[in-house]
């Protein structure tokens, strides 16, 4: 798989059927994550993702998102530059739009 971008609405339709070897990577701060996140999401703040490259290699696909899209793009670039090719960046929106759309939050 090669790295790509995905719209939030497309991800919403896909996220309910993710495999165990796929992960939703929330790159917001821990306080933002704890205030509400997508079910089964993993939180690694954008300023720490470089330290988790080896751990993230084990997933077939990593869906990266944040609050509005900016930090997801940054994390996507960091992980791409580190050699990961299993990335999908939710680049057009994030948790703000997820919540506004009425999608489920934990």
Question: Could you give all domains of the chain from N- to C-terminal order, each with its CATH number?
Answer: 4-100 (3.40.250.10)
pLDDT digits (tens, 9 = 90+) for 48-91: 999 999 999 999 999 999 999 999 999 999 999 999 999 999 98
Q: What is the pLDDT of residue 1?
A: 60
How many C-beta atoms surround the C-beta of residue 76 within 10 A? 26
pTM, two decimal places: 0.95
């Amino acid at each position: 798989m090669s790295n790509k971008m995905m719209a939030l609405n497309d991800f919403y339709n896909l996220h309910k059927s993710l495999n165990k070897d796929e992960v939703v990577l929330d790159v917001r701060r821990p306080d933002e994550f704890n205030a509400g996140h997508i079910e089964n999401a993993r939180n690694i703040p954008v300023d720490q993702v470089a330290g988790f490259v080896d751990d993230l290699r084990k997933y077939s696909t990593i869906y990266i998102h944040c609050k509005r899209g900016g930090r997801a793009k940054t994390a996507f670039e960091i992980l791409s530059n580190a050699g990961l090719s299993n990335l999908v960046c939710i680049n057009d929106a994030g948790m703000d739009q997820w919540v506004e759309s009425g999608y489920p939050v934990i």
